[in-house]
Amino acid sequence: MKSDVVISRLNLPGFQERGVQLDLLRLDLTHPQISGNKWFKLKYNLNRAKQKGSSVLLSFGGAWSNHIHALAFAGKEAGIATVGVIRGEEPQCYSQTLVDAQCWGMKLHFVSRQQYREKNDPVFLKQLAELYGDYQPIPEGGSNALAVQGCREIVAQIERLGGDYDKICCACGTGGTLAGLIAARPEHTEIIGVPVLKGADFLYSDIRSLLQQSGGVDPGQWRLIMDSHEGGYAKVSPQLADCMDRFARVAGIELEPVYTGKVMLALERMLARGELAAGSRVLMIHSGGMQGLRGMRDLLRKQLKRHNSGYNV
């Protein structure tokens, strides 16, 4: 696995006018297939599987899951079999994510949404073991203590590149990535998470619990911005489509709407509310996930059209 990360200065007019330095950590460039934060989240999980001689890694996700996509490829590279337990009945036509995963050798196990909600039920987990052998489970989204350990290294990469920031801002799904950033943050840096799910209050306790499991204490100085989920997971508002479109044109870098687009939108809103002081240095994390964009293009186009034809709210 390689890991060439760069930091780009974003000269976005709105931020420049207010004297706010905004940089972008390009984790989307870490690896062509194991993109972004998933590379860091999987690193120590794979190492442990190799050490223990586990022959099967099993995890959970939706049809467009970046985690499932990354795990399938990482398993293939490491020579470890992978099983993806996928939310929803088997479709007639697989998403491109699942086509890739299957092509890399992942076995796909489709379950109803009802069953998926009960995925941690011991009886269900035992059934899976009967089908696929003695597996090492990785939770949905890949967040566990080993993922937190891996994500601490994102901060090390920033420091290696000479980056020094007042605020570091990153998308949150399950919060594992944010927990790693919090655990390793420099003393003067505030960590800001942007949850992409609606009603993500559970993240406060999940993140604290991940910090504990990985052997640390909560050092504080972090918060969650709760107003930029845009209706929920993989939901796209006209404002989000517009924000991403403007960003692509000005910065020349593409974001995707499920995670990174929402971080940019949250930063614009914080700027508008005066929450980013003149002279402050802010780092946004481009956590990757570009493979998922393949499933979102039509919706993005539609919502951009709505925005440009004057749709409000």
Residues in the site for ligand PLP, rule: CB under 6 A? 36-38, 66-67, 141, 143, 171-178, 259-260, 287-289
Considering the complex, state which of residue 73 and residue 162 has its C-beta at the smaller distance from ligand PLP: 73
In whole angstroms, the minimum distance from the beta carbon of 257 to ligand PLP comes to: 10
Considering the complex, state which of residue 173 and residue 238 has its C-beta at the smaller distance from ligand PLP: 173
In the chain, how many H helices and how many E strands? 12, 10
In whole angstroms, the minimum distance from the beta carbon of 19 to ligand PLP comes to: 28
**Side-chain half-sphere of 302: how many Cα atoms within 13 Å?**
7
Angle between helices 202-213 and 176-184 (to 10 degrees): 60
Strand order in the sheet with 107-111: 107-111, 81-87, 56-61, 136-137
User: Nearest 5 degrees, angle CA 234-CA 240-CA 244?
Assistant: 105
Considering the complex, state which of residue 142 and residue 238 has its C-beta at the smaller distance from ligand PLP: 142
In whole angstroms, the minimum distance from the beta carbon of 29 to ligand PLP comes to: 13
Considering the complex, state which of residue 62 and residue 288 has its C-beta at the smaller distance from ligand PLP: 288
Q: Convert 266-290 to b/e letters by CB count within 10 Å (16 or more is b).
A: bbbebbeeeebeeebbbbbbbbbbb
In whole angstroms, the minimum distance from the beta carbon of 311 to ligand PLP comes to: 27
Considering the complex, state which of residue 18 and residue 48 has its C-beta at the smaller distance from ligand PLP: 48
In whole angstroms, the minimum distance from the beta carbon of 35 to ligand PLP comes to: 7
Give the chain's end-to-end CA distance (angstroms, integer).
44
How many Cβ atoms sit within 10 Å of the Cβ of residue 201? 10
Residue sitting closest to ligand PLP (CB)? 289
Considering the complex, state which of residue 144 and residue 189 has its C-beta at the smaller distance from ligand PLP: 144
**Side-chain half-sphere of 129: how many Cα atoms within 13 Å?**
12
In whole angstroms, the minimum distance from the beta carbon of 206 to ligand PLP comes to: 9
